[in-house]
Amino acid sequence: MTELSTMKDGVANQAEASDRVLQILAEAGRLFASKGFEGTSMRDIALACGISKSLLYHHFSNKDEIYARVAVGSTLELYLFVRDRIPDGPPSQKIRAFMVATAEYFRRYRWAWIASTTAFWNDPDRRRHKERLTRRDRFENFLRGLIQEAIDAGEIRKVDVPMTGRLILSSLNWMHRWYNPNKSATPEQIAEIFFDMLFNGLRSGELIELPGAEPPRAGRRKSR
Helices H / strands E in the chain, number of each:
11, 2
Model confidence pLDDT, tens digit, residues 208-219: 454 544 544 554
HEC readout, 57-110: HHHCCCHHHHHHHHHHHHHHHHHHHHHCCCCCCCHHHHHHHHHHHHHHHHHHCH
Q: Give the span between the Cα atoms of 73 and 134, in whole angstroms.
A: 12
Q: Give the span between the Cα atoms of 224 and 221, in whole angstroms.
A: 9
Neighbouring CB atoms inside 10 A of 127's CB total 10
Q: Give the span between the Cα atoms of 215 and 181, in whole angstroms.
A: 46
pLDDT computed for residue 114 by the predictor: 76
Pairing status of strand 11-12 against strand 7-8: antiparallel
Query: 198 — phi, psi (to 5°)?
Result: -70, -40
Burial class (CB within 10 angstroms; exposed 0-12, middle 13-18, buried 19+) of 142: middle
Q: Can you list the pairs that 154-159 forms with residues at least 24 positions away whose Cβ atoms lie under 8 Å?
A: 155/90, 155/91, 155/92, 156/92, 156/199
pTM: 0.69
Model confidence pLDDT, tens digit, residues 123-147: 556 666 677 778 888 999 999 999 9
Q: What is the full per-residue pLDDT of the chain (224 aa) written as tens digits?
A: 232 222 233 233 344 446 788 889 888 888 887 887 888 999 999 999 999 999 999 999 999 888 877 776 677 788 999 999 999 999 999 999 999 999 999 888 777 777 777 666 555 566 666 777 788 889 999 999 999 999 999 999 999 999 999 999 999 988 888 888 888 789 999 999 999 999 988 877 655 454 544 544 554 444 44
Strand partners, 40: none
Q: Which CATH number fits domain 7-200: 3.40.50.10860, 1.10.3720.10, 3.40.50.620, 1.10.357.10?
A: 1.10.357.10
SS3 116: helix
What are the residue ranges spanned by the domains of the chain?
7-200
